[in-house]
Chains A and B, each alone.
Chain A
Amino acid sequence: MLEIKGLTKRFGGLTAVRDVTTTFDKGRINAIIGPNGAGKTTFFNLVSGYHKPTTGRIIFDGQDVTGLRPDQVAKLGVARTFQSTTLFDKATVLDNLIVGHRLRTTSTFWDVVLNTKRLKEDEHRCRAKAEEVLDFVGLSSVAHHLAADISQEERKRVAFALALATDPKIVLLDEPAGGVNPEETLGLAELIRKMIRKGLTVCLIEHKMDMIMSLADKIVVLDHGEMIAEGTPAQIRSDQRVIEAYLGADYAAA
């Protein structure tokens, strides 16, 4: 699904990501873990086109996407969420989601001026999509709430919904459970499993180890920009380098 070959990103003298090679398989939950500053978000930024890699290749669905712009990558089917989602607080949740499907529509400025049938169809499709993804993430009940009035956990779900509205093949989730309580974390984990059942591929960054260990099919560990380990949760838990760099002796014993 997603192949990373020798990916390196240097910012001046700092190497944020160093020679990372890995693959993320279709229909799996892949996790990226590592201490703060390990280059996890930079890695996402490279895959989604915000940064151009210094060297290395990114192959998505058999197609080389290295160096494409974020909107081009999005059109190919790579969606992502951010640690904090910037919503338009004065509009409803549903209103915020409608733009998410814009990239799959074709109406132009002239369609807007002439109010053509194509525009109306596009707007109808975008609204239907917004309702569909809102239902998928379980937020239909707050569709008409103002975005300002929803909870942190609901905001996280809206971020998922926005990503899903783009009709992606893979979804990159940046700390999907950051700032929500343990119970809500379980709910979000279930939502991620639901995305997999729908045929999506997921790649997430997360610090909540319990969630990762029970959820992920594959874990990639970054430290100082380098991939120090990859494998199943069981393999990662017993990896000496990972324990030293990130998990700590306590976790390994547990």
Chain B
Amino acid sequence: MMSKTWQKPLLAVLLLLAIVFPMIAANDYYIYVMSLAYIMAIAAVGLNLILGYTGQLNLAHAGFMAIGAYTVGILTVDYGVPYWFAFVVAGALSAIIGFFAGLLSLRLKGHFFSIFTLCVGFMIYLIIEKSDALTHGTVGIIDIPAPTGIGPIRFDNTWSQYYLVLFFLVVSLWLMSRIVHSLLGRAFIAIRNGEDLAETLGINLMRTKVLAFVLSTFYAGMAGALYAGFVRFIGPAMALESHTFDMIAFILVGGIGTLFGPLLGAILLTWLTQSLQFLQDFRMIVFGPLLILLVMFFPQGLIGYWRERQARRAAASMQDRRLQRSVVGSQQEVGTNA
């Protein structure tokens, strides 16, 4: 309970830091990198819903991000559709394709589900790469327009785009917070803890899992749509499973099944990658051992570790208070008896 009282101020400070970041960042490049980390974080927050909260390892997540990005790319570049209209279509289309992919793949459980989704992701990659007429094939889509301005606000420079991305990140986290802390979130967590037990408690496994899957692909699609408008160039490689593995790494580092874990992981790993840029491909020599150490000593990720300590302390303090109350209670009883 104690943790909750300073949770809000902490969040406010973090948000303030995010808002002033562009003002203290040394140059535009840092702002650009941070924006990119936020976009990846939105996708990872979505993946965390199906992986961290519902316990289903979906390896096609990058594919759904690519669907969102390509929807924006194709609609804006080839059909002259306004960015924001394409943006909405991107989210909807990812969710619709996610619905059918989920309905099919969630018939499988555990590793079989993961292997199946690995194939789904690769199929998305192949379809994007081979459909020259629609997706420009291996060339990719270039010159995607930046998000059009809303009212007096323009999104034509790194600063304003940073704030746009930050806005969507905050909305994503707010919505995810609502979901995972609700009864619905409890149903997702129950499935992760044990599908048999969840089903016995009257939870419709298929319907609940498909809902988690669709929501996660919606997040991926939105992240992809933002990515397209921000980087303004997209290629088929973004659908590859290696991008899904990046997001899984974010989640593992930050804390699987925690609200802010994917964000923390995305920011930490993005900056680590940036600062090791000079090592080129050799950076994996630093990266690999670091990840192994982290998984060894913080298997729940950084926030997961912190949360567990918090939970234990809260449980202990509740217990203390209960004891105190019972002591006081019995003393009072003694008093009245006397």
A interface residues, Cβ below 8 angstroms from B: 48, 50, 69-71, 74-75, 79-80, 82, 85-88, 90-92, 98-100, 102-103, 105, 107, 109, 112-113, 115, 119, 122-123, 126, 141, 144-146, 149, 162-163, 165-166
Chain A residues with CB below 8 A from B315, complex form? 92, 144-146, 149
Residues of B within 8 A of A85 (CB): 197
Nearest opposing residue in chain A for B205, CB measure: A71
Query: Which chain A residues lie closer than 8 Å to B196 at the CB level?
Result: 50, 70, 82, 86
A13 to B27, alpha carbons, bound, how many Å? 72
**Contact flag A112-B184 (CB < 8 Å), given A90-B307, A99-B190:** yes
Given B178, B190, B198, B200, which contacts A48 in the complex, CB threshold below 8 Å? Answer: B200
B107 to chain A, nearest CB (A): 14
Q: How many A-B residue pairs have CB under 8 A?
A: 99
A103 nearest in chain B by CB position = B202
User: Which residues of the other chain, A, contact B198 by a CB distance below 8 angstroms?
Assistant: 99
Residues of B within 8 A of A105 (CB): 183
Residues in chain A near residue B322, CB distance under 8 A: 141, 144
Of B182, B197, B199, the most chain A CB neighbours within 10 A belong to B197
CB of B39 to closest CB in A, whole Å: 22
**B300 to chain A: which residues have CB within 8 Å?**
90
Give the Cβ gap from A52 to chain B, nearest Cβ, in Å.
14
Q: Are A119 and B200 in contact (CB under 8 A)?
A: no
B101 at the interface (CB under 8 A from A): no
Q: Is B201 within 8 A of A102, CB to CB?
A: yes
- In the bound complex, how far is the Cα of B190 from the Cα of A87, in angstroms? 8
- A144:B318 contact, CB within 8 angstroms: yes
The CA of A225 and the CA of B15, in the complex, are separated in Å by: 63
Known: A71-B199, A88-B193. 7 other contacts (CB 8 A): A71-B204, A99-B186, A107-B183, A109-B184, A112-B179, A119-B182, A163-B200
> Does residue B175 face the partner (Cβ distance < 8 Å to A)?
yes
Name the CB-closest residue of A to B182.
A112
The interface on chain B, measured as residues whose beta carbon lies within 8 A of the other chain's beta carbons, has a size of 34
Instruction: Tell me which residues across on chain B come within 8 A of A87, comparing CB atoms.
Output: 193
* 1/0 contact string of B101-117 vs chain A (CB within 8 Å): 00000000000000000
Check A113/B186 contact, CB under 8 A, given A71-B203, A146-B312.
no
- Distance, CA A158 to CA B196, complexed state (A): 16
Q: Which one, B194, B200, B211, contacts A80 given CB within 8 A?
A: B200
Min distance, Cβ B316 to any Cβ of chain A, angstroms: 9
Q: B311 to A99, Cβ gap below 8 A?
A: no
Q: For the complex, give the distance between the alpha carbons of A103 and B194 in Å.
A: 16
> In whole angstroms, what is the CA distance A99 to B300 when docked?
23
A86 contacts which of B187, B194, B307, B319 (Cβ < 8 Å)? B194
* A99 touching B178 in the complex, CB below 8 Å, given contacts A79-B200, A87-B193: no
Partner of A123, one of B183, B192, B201, B311: B183
* A112 & B193 in contact (Cβ 8 Å cutoff): no
Q: Which residues of A contact B47 (CB under 8 A)?
A: none
